[in-house]
Structure 1
């Protein structure tokens, strides 16, 4: 039974590592849309003011 435990421990560790790796590599969305829209509004305001 002790030999079986020594075989199960690495298998469980490999499964946990695979789950963690999948979670760490998940596709995350960034909030670039709102910041790019804000930058576009800033540029338009600067162009209207004449840049002075």
Structure 2
């Protein structure tokens, strides 16, 4: 059985590719909610 990719992954890769000419396009923010219900937001560098 093959691996299944997250449905948002290709959308993210497409967006990063189409904006690769912009210097700030290698940064994106990722928001999650922990098991305790506390929200968290972080800035990620995509290299």
Do they superpose with TM above 0.5? no
Higher relative contact order (CA 8 A, sep 6+): 2
| Greater per-residue strand proportion | 2
- TM-score scaled by structure 2? 0.31
The structure with the greater share of residues assigned to helix is 1
